[in-house]
Amino acid sequence: MSPLRIATRESPLALWQAEHVQARLRAAHPGLEVSLVPMTTTGDQLLSGPLSQSGGKGLFVKELEAALLEGRADLAVHSMKDVPAQQPPGLAVVSFLEGEDPRDAFVSNHHASLASLPLGARLGTASLRRQVQARRLRPDLQIEVLRGNVGTRLRKLDEGRHDAILLACAGLMRLGLEARIRERLDPEQFVPAIGQGIVGIECRADDDRTRALLAPLHDSASALRLAAERSFNARLGGACQAPIAGHATPLADGRLRLVGLVGTPDGSRLLREEIVGDPAQASALGESLADRLLAAGAREILQDLGG
């Protein structure tokens, strides 16, 4: 059997995720050779270069997808949060691993929570989704742009450039940095990003061998969550410049609940809706929620942004 090649970004978090998938594949298929093909993406280069006004999520996955399409790798491991709503022709995201904590993390060396930050404190985050939700809870804060890999962001916090920063719990936990989390933000008040905390695996849609090898890694609860959240995002128009959040959770009675948020980039308008329904119709649920938000004003917001 030829070795299975995993395309991955070179950031510590991406490497952790790729090595995790490598270990899972080896465990599921003893004797299978699994290798890593690390590569730098345009998104990674921009992290250290000039600030691009959100060049689109696709920047972190495009090079990995090119490697798949050109046959230089067989699968790509992604944080689903960074994966756009639609894949290029010929590729498919076929497996989702079991989800890690989907919540956002409040990280600070001197303060215990977002609510207890002193008046006018400096909060670092680059994500529009986090900016607008933080501003709504704490309009007094000075929200500052913070970019880079998880390690870079923590270093900037430790250097005193910010009083606190916001990151995903999942990334910190994977990197063994869980102790840095001071507060896990309530997903009702602070809606997580679509796919946050879930690792997904993409391959060529017609590559039956890779798909069969990946099957034992697939988690159906994550797949449900993603189906609802990603169809919500796709219906809203995918990679636009508006802050968007979406988070699905299974209810005790077996139904699926989906919360969605769309706003203007400056947070002056923030629309939130929720829906509960049959998990077997997860994609339709996401689309219905998007339609509700579009009717409630998201259409104007997205049109104004040219989305």
Ligand X SMILES: NCc1[nH]cc(CCC(=O)O)c1CC(=O)O
Assess whether 304 carries a catalytic annotation. Answer: no
- The nearer residue to ligand X, 66 or 126, going by C-beta atoms, is 126
CB of 176 to ligand X, least distance (A): 14
- What Cα–Cα distance (Å) separates residue 202 from each residue in 88, 211, 229, 258, 292? 11, 9, 17, 24, 31
- The nearer residue to ligand X, 106 or 258, going by C-beta atoms, is 106
Q: Rule CB under 6 A: is residue 167 a binding residue for ligand X?
A: yes
Size of the site for ligand X (CB under 6 A): 10
- The nearer residue to ligand X, 8 or 288, going by C-beta atoms, is 8
Residues 71-130 that bind ligand X (CB under 6 A): 79, 81-82
Return the residue matching tokens 């730098």: 40
Site string for ligand X, 195-214 (x = CB under 6 A): -xx-----------------
Among the listed residues 58, 171, 200, 243, the single contact to ligand X using CB under 6 A: 171
CB of 199 to ligand X, least distance (A): 6
- The nearer residue to ligand X, 194 or 213, going by C-beta atoms, is 194
Among the listed residues 77, 146, 168, 191, the single contact to ligand X using CB under 6 A: 168
| Cβ(57)–Cβ(40) below 8 Å | no
Of the candidates 44, 74, 82, 163, the residue annotated as catalytic is 82
CB of 82 to ligand X, least distance (A): 5
Residues designated as active site: 82
Contact footprint for ligand X (CB under 6 A) = 79, 81-82, 150, 167-168, 170-171, 196-197
